[in-house]
């Protein structure tokens, strides 16, 4: 037990070993048991960015566990293809096509209202949609795309879906972050975005990889705040990273990284594993709420400063005002509408 804990931690710190398929192959020998075969029967889940890569694999794994799956993408043709593929591959799968661009806040509001009119409860949400554009692109509301896709859209969607999540009487929300978030400090140092302009990456040259890491760090901070805010509602909120996974997104955004690491990259089912396990088994989770390979991981490494609460409040305030949602107070509870 102690040996596996030390080995697990060493894999994590080594990054290259832990994040590749070497990490999951080793950890599989000691990690917690799989969900029961029909663990999600009678349950309803939403997976965003599920038209390819890790999201499609998450949707498929949920269908294999007998969940009703709402498969969401921004391109109707891709949604139709991915949903059809899962229906063909998994006998009896119930997959519902959902089209919404999660970076478009008006589209998110309209889609959430529509979903609310169609269903009575929702047991799981995986905020998986992600992108790493090379150039700064703005959404219809004028937000930088990665901020909107990784942070603002999922935040707004979480708030709008709260009634459905509460009615499930035992739900989970998972933010798909990235190990890349470790390269951005937590909200404590002067390098963390200090203002709305900063968050929108308006100053200096746009660096897609750096903005990706920052918005992936924001997801971890946001999920932690949501976890506290909803702790009394039996809604668990977690963030996680999938390791390094062979996907169309990696091929497109990081071609050199892919060529170098390809033999060791995980397959998409492997990248999907922890998200599905978190929703299907709802493990106990401590503050931080950041997971990889079915175990909680630190949100900062030893040499990084820990979070400053005032900085976190400032960040959450900015997210609330950009999305027109409830504010979080210093105890992460909701206070007032913007």
Ligand X SMILES: NC(=O)c1ccc[n+]([C@@H]2O[C@H](COP(=O)([O-])OP(=O)(O)OC[C@H]3O[C@@H](n4cnc5c(N)ncnc54)[C@H](OP(=O)(O)O)[C@@H]3O)[C@@H](O)[C@H]2O)c1
Binding site for ligand X (CB under 6 A): 48-49, 51-55, 73-75, 78, 101-103, 128-131, 149, 176, 178, 241-242, 244-245, 247-250
Q: Give residue for tokens 């599920």.
A: 50
Using the minimum distance from each CB to ligand X, give the nearer residue, 68 or 146: 146
Minimum Å gap between C-beta 59 and ligand X is 10
Minimum Å gap between C-beta 169 and ligand X is 28
CA atoms within 13 A on the CB side of 318: 20
Minimum Å gap between C-beta 90 and ligand X is 18
Using the minimum distance from each CB to ligand X, give the nearer residue, 149 or 220: 149
Minimum Å gap between C-beta 243 and ligand X is 7
Please state, in angstroms and rounded to a whole number, the distance separating the CA atoms of residues 269 and 248: 14
Let me know if 295 is exposed, middle or buried by CB neighbors in 10 A (0-12, 13-18, 19+).
middle
Using the minimum distance from each CB to ligand X, give the nearer residue, 113 or 120: 113
Please state, in angstroms and rounded to a whole number, the distance separating the CA atoms of residues 291 and 235: 17
Minimum Å gap between C-beta 53 and ligand X is 2
Using the minimum distance from each CB to ligand X, give the nearer residue, 268 or 300: 268
Q: Give residue for tokens 């509001």.
A: 109
Using the minimum distance from each CB to ligand X, give the nearer residue, 171 or 265: 265
Q: Assign 3-class secondary structure to 107-146.
A: HHHHHHHHHHHHCCCCCEEEECCCCCCCCCCECCCCCEHH
């Amino acid at each position: 037990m102690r040996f596996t804990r030390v080995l697990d931690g060493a894999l994590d710190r080594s990054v290259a070993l832990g994040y590749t398929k070497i990490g999951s192959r080793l950890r599989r020998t000691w990690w917690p048991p799989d969900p029961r075969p029909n663990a999600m029967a009678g349950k309803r889940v939403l997976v965003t960015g599920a038209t390819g890569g890790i999201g499609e694999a998450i949707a498929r794994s949920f269908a294999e566990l007998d969940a009703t799956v709402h498969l969401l993408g921004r391109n109707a043709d891709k949604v139709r293809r991915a949903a059809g593929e899962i229906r063909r591959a998994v006998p009896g799968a119930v997959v519902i096509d959902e089209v919404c661009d999660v970076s478009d806040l008006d589209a998110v509001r309209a889609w959430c209202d529509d979903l609310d009119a169609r269903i009575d409860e929702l047991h799981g949400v995986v905020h998986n949609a992600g992108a790493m554009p090379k150039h700064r692109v703005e959404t219809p509301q004028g937000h930088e795309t990665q901020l909107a896709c990784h942070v603002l859209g999922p935040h707004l969607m979480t708030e709008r879906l709260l009634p459905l999540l509460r009615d499930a009487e035992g739900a989970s929300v998972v933010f798909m972050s990235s190990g890349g978030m470790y390269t951005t400090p937590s909200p404590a140092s002067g390098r963390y975005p200090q203002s709305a302009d900063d968050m929108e990456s308006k100053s200096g040259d746009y660096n897609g990889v750096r903005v990706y890491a920052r918005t992936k760090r924001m997801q971890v901070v946001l999920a932690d705040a949501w976890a506290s805010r909803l702790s009394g509602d039996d809604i668990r909120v977690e963030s996680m990273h999938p390791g390094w996974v062979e996907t169309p997104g990696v091929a497109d955004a990081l071609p050199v990284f892919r060529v170098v690491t390809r033999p060791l990259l995980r397959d998409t089912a492997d990248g999907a594993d922890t998200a599905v396990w978190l929703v299907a088994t709802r493990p106990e989770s401590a503050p931080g709420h950041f997971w990889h390979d079915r175990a909680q991981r630190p949100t900062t490494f030893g040499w990084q400063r820990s979070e400053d609460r005032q900085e976190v409040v400032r960040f959450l305030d900015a997210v609330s005002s950009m999305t027109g949602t409830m504010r979080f107070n210093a105890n992460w509870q909701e206070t007032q509408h913007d």
